[in-house]
Amino acid sequence: MEGLALVKVIVIALAVVAFASPATGQSLPGGFVYLRDIDPTILEDIRYAGSNNFVGRPLAGYEAADCVVKRDVGLALARAQRELAPQHLSLKMLDCYRPARAVHDMVIWAQNGRETPAERRYNPAFRKKDLFRLGYIAEHSGHSTGAAVDLTLVDLKADNSAAFDPGRAYADCTAPTSARAPEASVDMGTGYDCSDVKAHTAARLITSDQRRWRNVLVSAMAKQGFVNYSKEWWHFSLPGAGGPAYDFPIEARFR
């Protein structure tokens, strides 16, 4: 009996230790947080951590597909999410904090003198060497301060099962949603990271439904203090939440 009791004590002790010692979260500098720690209901599809982006590979510093933001930004996003929930809508994060090394990676990509058909899907009307001059990519990004985010909306009642196939030759980012790469989100009129006038938030060459979705997103974000970048329907920043640019890598929230 004493031996059995001892075994029970050991089992209980191990269970308590396991419960009290979860996987250690990564420490972040400068008031940054993992968005999941503030609101785990917000969807995340961090595109620069994979191949479904205009470069076609993970960018430098994206070691995990986790959204990292300044705490004030995360709290504001959570408030927007609560406002959208009664409409059966969810935010979906496409990019959050972006290490400065990733921004430099974009610069090198734009200047490498090559342009593949897959890359052209994202800038059908421009050459990639002109994207900086035209304001579609910046050499110094607000994303690196933790105050800027890229995001879209997901209709939780819709079928969002369509997945990106890296081996498929999709139409360019301005094409109808049935022909371009799937976003698993509402139809905003262009794909994410589309460098084209049609992606300008107030673009005229979109349908009434596409404009309505853009207005829903802009309104929900503006209500929480976010400002939209006029050339990108997906890009928002929170004034006053930033600071210096950072270059720490994005690591997995838990190891």
Residue ranges of the binding site for Zn(2+): 143, 150, 235
Closest CA to 183 of 128, 206, 148, 175: 175
Q: What is the CA radius of gyration of the chain?
A: 21
* Residue numbering of the annotated binding site: 143, 150, 235
Phi then psi dihedrals of residue 33, to 5 deg: -140, 160
- CB 56: neighbour CB atoms within 10 A? 15
How far apart are alpha carbons 242 and 70 in whole angstroms?
8
Whether 51 and 57 have beta carbons less than 8 Å apart is answered as yes
- Whether 139 is catalytic is no
How far apart are alpha carbons 38 and 40 in whole angstroms?
7
How far apart are alpha carbons 124 and 21 in whole angstroms?
51
In the sheet that holds 43-44, the strands lie side by side as: 43-44, 89-95, 148-155, 235-237, 227-228
What six digits make up the tokens of 181? 């790469």
Whether 196 and 231 have beta carbons less than 8 Å apart is answered as no
DSSP summary character for residue 111: T
Pairing of strands 235-237, 68-70: unpaired
Of 83, 119, 232, 251, which residue is the catalytic one?
232
DSSP summary character for residue 39: -
Active-site annotation, residues: 232
